[in-house]
Amino acid sequence: MKQQLPLQRRGTWLQDLGDWWTFLILILLVIIFSITAPGFATGQNFVSTTVSASNTVILAIAETFVIITGGIDLSVGAILGLSGIVGATVMQNMMVHGDMPALILGVLAGLGTGIVAGAVNGFVISFMEITPFIATLGMLGIGTGLTYLVSNGTDIVNIPPELSTFGDAVLFNFLGIPALLALVLLLLAWFFLTKTRFGKYTYAIGSNAEGTRRSGVNVKAHLFKIYTLSGLLSGFAGVLIVARLATGSPLEGTNDELNAIASVVIGGASLFGGRGTLFGSTVGALVISVLVSGLVIMGVQPYWQQVTIGVIIILAVYVDQRRYRNRVLK
């Protein structure tokens, strides 16, 4: 027993930090693109890549909480797009009352939209007992449809200039404000996931929902909170992308749920629930963002970028299934 204990600690330590092979893939991609893609290894591209990765990281944070419980949220991209459009629309309509009132009300409207959409997901999943896949797939359709209804299918460009200035700001010529906000959210999420009962219940539900319920945890209420949190983070990402682009576009958020889920699975989380880390999810998001950035600089067509990401998703799920089977056999 004494000889086995260090091995057990070692395995747990690696799982808690995420999959190092994913981190090595990230380093390898950076090295390859630095050699083959002129302009990749520059400060400007670093800022651009980390800023563009900020939305993927935020959605990956939301998806991490959901996937650890054994669920999935297919609507994060649609909620992002709807929240951004609602926020931009409120800003545009309120500009007659001044830039700051319009900005504040628009941000609150975007966040509120995300919370409401997430709460609807949580209610349908927890209390109507509809599977997360179907419930969030339905919300994906609802969110996408409402986005086009609110915007009439056109971009909204009349937003307060202070918001776009904020979204374009870079600290010390190194760190964009969107990336900084994503980092702050990541640290807060890490604290709640690893240092509070909220996080312990999240892992427990993913590992054994029935056992967790019998131990006195209100599983339905917790899942409601998880999906509401996912909606809030998606709404925040929607407002942030409006700040970055100085435009509310109905196209934003399209397929972003795939990148978020891929980030979490690539980062070592299990689609069967009970396992996953924010460290791993963040590395997964950076792998996707670096891959896209490098392919763009190399002039690869956007269609091939989607093909590459799709292949990565399939491989990541395959690895997850193999691990799950091995764990069950043990």
Calpha distance 85→103 (Å, rounded): 13
The pLDDT of residue 97: 76
pLDDT in tens, the chain (330 residues): 333 333 333 334 444 444 577 888 889 999 999 998 888 889 899 999 999 999 999 999 999 999 999 999 999 999 999 999 999 999 999 987 778 899 999 999 999 999 999 999 999 999 999 999 999 999 999 999 999 999 999 999 988 989 988 888 998 888 999 999 999 999 999 999 999 999 999 999 999 999 999 999 999 999 999 999 999 999 999 999 999 998 999 999 888 998 999 899 888 888 888 989 999 999 999 999 999 899 889 888 877 877 887 887 787 777 767 766 666 555
The pLDDT of residue 328: 57
Which residue has tokens 């009132």?
Answer: 101
**224 burial class (0-12, 13-18, 19+ CB within 10 angstroms)?**
buried
The pLDDT of residue 307: 85
Q: Which residues pair with 248 in a beta bridge?
A: 156
Structure tokens, 314: 């399939």
The pLDDT of residue 313: 74
Q: Which residues pair with 170 in a beta bridge?
A: 176
Please answer whether residues 73 and 257 qualify as being in contact, where contact means their C-beta atoms are separated by less than 8 angstroms.
Answer: yes
C-alpha Rg value of the chain to the nearest Å: 20
The pLDDT of residue 320: 65
Give the count of beta carbons closer than 10 Å to the beta carbon of residue 85. Answer: 28
The pLDDT of residue 3: 38
Give the predicted TM-score (pTM) of the model.
Answer: 0.89
How open is the CA angle 68-236-109, to the nearest 5 degrees? 130
Structure tokens, 56: 């993927």
